[in-house]
Amino acid sequence: ATLSGVNSTQADSLSTAGTDAITINLSGGSSTAALLNSLDGKTSVSVNASAISAISGTLSDVSSSVSSAGITNSASFEASITGSNDENGISALNAVAASTTGTITASFSNLTASQADALTTAATDAITLTLEAGATTATVLNNIDATTNVAVGASAITGITGDLADIHTARTSAGITTDTDYSATVSDTLDENGIANLNALAAETAVVVTASVSNLTAAQADDLSTASTDAITVTLEAGATTADILN
């Protein structure tokens, strides 16, 4: 038998068995993943859900409906994942995102920055991420920023390391929310060109900033506004200066 022009709710009134050859052509619109999975169990023929523009439900249900050989989905459906997920759901979310060009909406919490870095969602996806406390690299934070259009919740991050350019990108990005009490360790050696960004970094956080600055004059080094508690290694160029600047 063939059933066409019905939505998933109407089609779900079927009481046929999974061994019955019922051709189901769903009309356009949205559906829950639970309904699609239910229909999948009522026919041996792949459910034609290619007109469905949006699928909602738990990550488990959406993942099942997307991966089932018994359901033919659109290549551009939007997916809204209900509930909050953790690192155990990242693989399933990546698979859902890979199956569609539509926007994915989901929330993840209680995961480390390293775990969140495994996401392969797009910058257009609305993935709400709340990172656990701990240290990370600026590169990882910037990578995560590129997997969602929602600001990454990184306010629990206690330490950030990396090149000054990467740290500057992470801390100034509107897509990353940091706190004002993280330590920062700059891994590359700076010269006078890095002083402005180093000062801005030190002004943002009340915790220790560690960095090395070399190949600069005493006058250039005097532009540093870091705190006496910051661990700034300064190596001056040859030349004359005043005692006031050195002090």
- Model pLDDT, residue 181: 96
> At 63, which helix (H) or strand (E)?
helix 59-67
Q: Is 162 left (phi over 0), alpha (psi -120 to 50) or beta?
A: left
- Model pLDDT, residue 245: 81
d(CA 46, CA 159): 50
- Model pLDDT, residue 237: 85
- Model pLDDT, residue 211: 98
Q: Residue 175: count other Cβ atoms within 10 Å of its Cβ.
A: 18
- Model pLDDT, residue 178: 97
Per-residue pLDDT of the chain (247 residues; tens, 9 = 90+): 999 999 999 999 999 999 999 999 999 999 999 999 999 999 999 999 999 999 999 999 999 999 999 999 999 999 999 999 999 999 999 999 999 999 999 999 999 999 999 999 999 999 999 999 999 999 999 999 999 999 999 999 999 999 999 999 999 999 999 999 999 999 999 999 999 999 999 999 999 999 999 999 999 999 999 999 999 999 998 778 888 887 6
| Cα–Cα nearest to 214, from 236, 194, 246, 182 | 236
d(CA 46, CA 31): 16
- Model pLDDT, residue 240: 83
Task: Note the pLDDT tens digit of each residue in 188-235.
Answer: 999 999 999 999 999 999 999 999 999 999 999 999 999 999 999 999
